[in-house]
Amino acid sequence: MVQRKIIIDTDPGQDDAVAILLALASPEEIDVLGITCVAGNVPLELTSKNARIICELAGKPDVPVYAGCDRPLGRNLVTAEHVHGKTGLNGPVLPDPQMPLQETHAVDFIIETLRAEPPGTVTLCPLGPLTNIATALNKAPDIAERVQEIVLMGGAYFEVGNITPTAEFNIYVDPQAAEIAFKSGIDIVVMPLDVTHKALVTPDRNEAFRNLETPVGTAVAQMTDFFERFDKEKYGSDGAPLHDPCVTAYLLRPDLFSGRHINVEIETGSELTMGMTVADWWGVTDRPPNALFINDLDADGFFSLLTERLARL
């Protein structure tokens, strides 16, 4: 399989952490050029600390980690400590990072990397609000045609919202940024709640992580033990939805996923539906398709892949 060069843009977050671990456990298929951090689940200072904690947990302290935007383009920051805990990585007790944060701003790293790598060879993998991505596109419009594709976690259609009745968290936090990304003309693959709510860490699946009996397996099991309570209370679901790892798993095994190439637009006008991903799933408009909107996965295949790869760390 051809190695795919990626930039992970993230707001760790326990599920971001698992997505990063899955990528770092798959060097034959994925070359992580860098990890760029954004304010989202918790403030930027914590997301950029947590990303380094995860790199060190994976035994990969050489992965460059960059701090990016500390607030959305045009709205106040909304965080999700109620889901992820005060640190954003509640659950396991992990040591503070020893590896440094890079000096370069995340937005400049994204721009410089896309300009340096051959066109169409770098995939952007946003796992949080799209503030860094949109800021890079605003600052350097020339990079849009150089991006291979964007594979992101965000949005919802049939599942509707998890932070408001109509909006998913990543899009809701920075809807203006999301609008810029979805109107950029870049090929986009969307992992919305419609599919991530089918990637549930059931007790058996979490035991499989714990039974790896490795620091990574134990930490992931402890993360999901903490992370699951929000969704179990809200949705009565049978475990934590592993939202962000769907992005990494898609890079490794796209055959595990299915969806439709449709038009997706972002609500940025009405406060009532702010951040809603208006997905034309039924093709009732003449708006041109701009995204592969994933709505299903082979959950057993996903967890077999994830568990096997985590065992490698």
Residues that bind ligand RIB (CB under 6 A): 11, 13, 15-16, 40-41, 127-128, 153, 162, 168-170, 243-244
Exactly one of 84, 105, 197, 243 is catalytic; which is it? 243
Taking CB within 5 to 8 Å according to partner kind, which of Ca ion, ligand RIB, none is near residue 169? ligand RIB
Question: In the structure encoding, which two tokens stand for residue 61, read together?
Answer: 């302290």
Q: Nearest distance from residue 138's CB to Ca ion, in Å?
A: 22
Can you tell me the distance from the alpha carbon of 235 to that of 306, in angstroms, rounded to the nearest whole number?
24
Burial call 21-33: b when 16+ CB within 10 Å, e when fewer: bbbbbbeeebebb
Nearer of residues 244 and 280 to ligand RIB, judged by Cβ = 244
Paired tokens of 95: 């040591």
Q: Under the criterion CB under 5 A, does residue 241 sit at the interface with Ca ion?
A: no
Taking the complex as a whole, how short is the minimal distance between the CB of residue 155 and ligand RIB, in angstroms? Answer: 9
Q: How far is the CB of 289 from ligand RIB (least distance, A)?
A: 23
Shortest approach of ligand RIB to residue 40 CB, angstroms? 5
- Shortest Cβ distance from residue 76 to ligand RIB (Å)? 17
Q: What CA–CA distance (Å, rounded) separates 251 from 122?
A: 12
CB of 286: closest distance to ligand RIB in angstroms?
30
Cβ-based nearer residue to ligand RIB, 169 or 257: 169
The nearer residue to Ca ion, 244 or 265, going by C-beta atoms, is 244
Q: Contact at 8 Å (CB) between 263 and 155?
A: no
Residue number with CB closer to ligand RIB (134 or 143): 134
Which residues lie below 8 Å from residue 93, measured CB to CB, with a gap of 6+?
none
Does residue 84 have an active-site annotation? no
Is there binding between residue 168 and Ca ion (CB under 5 A)?
no
Pick out residues in 10-69 that bind Ca ion (CB under 5 A): 11, 13, 16
CB atoms within 10 A of CB 258: 13
Q: Which stretch binds Ca ion (CB under 5 A): 115-123, 128-136, 262-270, 287-295?
A: 128-136
Coil, strand or helix at 310: helix
Which stretch in 66-74, 105-113, 123-131, 143-151 sits in contact with Ca ion by CB under 5 A? Answer: 123-131
Q: Could you give the CA distance from residue 33 to residue 12 in angstroms, rounded to a whole number?
A: 18
Torsion of CA 296, 35, 216, 301, to 10 degrees: 20
Rounded Cα–Cα distance for residues 253 and 286 (Å): 31
- Angstrom CA distances, 281 to 55, 263, 289, stand at 37, 8, 10
Q: Which of 85, 55, 51 is nearest to 68 (CA)?
A: 51
> Distance (Å, rounded) from C-alpha 196 to C-alpha 259?
12
CB-wise, 15 or 179, nearer to Ca ion? 15
**Residues touching Ca ion, count (CB under 5 A):** 6
91 binds, among ligand RIB, Ca ion, none (CB under 5 to 8 A by kind): none
**Interface with Ca ion includes 256 (CB under 5 A)?**
no
73 touches 36 (CB < 8 A): no
Q: Which is nearer to ligand RIB, 11 or 108 (CB)?
A: 11
Binding site for Ca ion (CB under 5 A): 11, 13, 16, 127-128, 244
Task: Enumerate the active-site residues.
Answer: 243
